[in-house]
Every structure is written in structure tokens, then in C-alpha cells.
Amino acid sequence: MAEINKSGGDGQRGQQNRGRRKPPGDRPGNSFGGGAGDDMVEKVVFINRSAKVVKGGRRFSFGALVVVGDKKGRVGIGLGKAAEVADAIRRGGEMARAQMVTVALKDTTIPHEAYCAYGGAKVLLRPASPGTGIIAGKKVRAVLESAGVKDVLTKSLGSKNAANVVKATLKGLLSMRLRETIYKSRGLEIRKVEAPKAPEAIPATA
């Protein structure tokens, strides 16, 4: 009987300990969307692992490419490096938040077509009608979603290097200019074109 009570006590203590554990979503380091009340969206695009051969074995280090945006026209990218994956992601997120820039958007798409290159990567961006969605790969999609674009057509050309593709996409977004901004910089006013009126009906003669 003593052994049965002892095992039962251990089982109860084990259940109590299990009850104190936090769910995976509440553990620090697992949530990349920011804290409570933070509207920033954080996306990990690519994680690179490098090894250095030293006496006694290999020493690994990690680099994390992170994109951060508020889905309202502000986006930033950062490349964090550390000996652990979680530290690399955290550093990348901090760098991205510190380097956020504002891009021009037109409703849910981009104002006009753009073709930009960074290194060997080349990215083509085209506006799309509402309901099209984001037609893009993983790397380009991360930047566009973080910036707040919902309808766009894209094509990645040239190099597939993640860092270059992301930087080329951001460069293309920074080259966007709204019509109002262009007219204002030239000192012009946008002319409002009135809709054509329907022709009046000719009265019938007796």
C-alpha cells in the first residue's frame, strides 16, 4: 500500500508540474509577431548556417534574414547573426525595425510597374486588380505582405539569393511614386475629368 500511495503521489506531483507549463505560444522566443498591442508583422525569410573548423571540431553560427512591417506602407529588412538561431532572429528583427522605410501604395496594390535589380537578382512588379492576391514567391511575398500590398503580380529573375531578392523587392517598392506626388513636385494640379453626359432624347414630332 505504501508503494501505491508513493507512486500516486509522484503522479499527482507530475500532473501539477505539467499544469504549470506554459503552452508553446506563450513561451518567450516562439512568437515573432511582437508583443501585445504591437501591430508589427515579423517574418523570417531565410536562415543560413555557417561552420568554422577549429581545434576539436566545428563551431556553428547562424544568420537570419528578417522582414518587419506594419501592413500600412512601412517595411524594413535586417540580417542578424549569432551563435544561436533564436538570437539571430531577435537581432535581425531589431535591425529591421530600426531600418524601416515608407513606401507608396495605391489602395491594395502598387501605383505602377517597376523593374529593379540588386546584385544578380532582378524583380518585376506589376499592379493588379482587386481580388488577384499576391502572385509571388516566398521571398518577394514576405516583403509585399509586410508592406501591406494585397494585389500584385511579380516575377523573380536572375539570382535566387534570398538577401538580394528581398533587397531588390524593397528597392522596387521605394521607386514607386504616386501621381499626386509627381504633380506636386512639378507644381502642377491634377485636372478632374468630368464623366460624359448621356445625349438628350429628341422629342418626337407629330
Paired residues of 77 in beta bridges: 67
CA distance 97 to 196: 49
Here the cell at position 47 is: 536562415
Residue 204 in grid coordinates: 418626337
Domain that holds residue 162: 41-185
Q: Is 163 helix (H, G, I), strand (E, B) or coil?
A: helix
pLDDT of residue 34: 45
State the CATH number of the domain containing residue 168. Answer: 3.30.230.10
Q: Which residue has the cell 518585376?
A: 124
- Report the domain count for the chain: 1
Assign residue 3 a region: left if phi > 0, alpha if psi is -120 to 50, beta otherwise?
A: alpha
Instruction: Tell me the pLDDT tens digit for each residue of 123-151.
Output: 999 999 999 999 999 999 999 999 999 99
Residue 38: its pLDDT value, please? Answer: 59
Assigned domain for 16 exists:
no
**Cell numbers standing for residue 177:** 511614386
Q: Please report the pLDDT score of residue 19 as a whole number.
A: 45
* pLDDT beneath 50: ranges in the chain: 1-37
In a domain, 23, yes or no: no
pLDDT digits (tens, 9 = 90+) for 106-125: 888 999 999 999 999 999 99
Residue 62 counted as domain residue: yes
Alpha helices in 83-178 (DSSP H): 85-98, 138-147, 162-174
Q: Give the three cell numbers for residue 103.
A: 513606401
pLDDT for 145: 92
- Is the torsion defined by CA of 23, 24, 28, 32 positive or negative? negative
Q: In this structure, is residue 71 part of a structural domain? A: yes
> Is residue 197 situated within a structural domain?
no
Residue 193 falls inside a structural domain? no
Q: Answer whether residue 26 is part of any domain.
A: no
Q: What cell was used for 4?
A: 501505491
The verdict on residue 199 lying in a domain is no
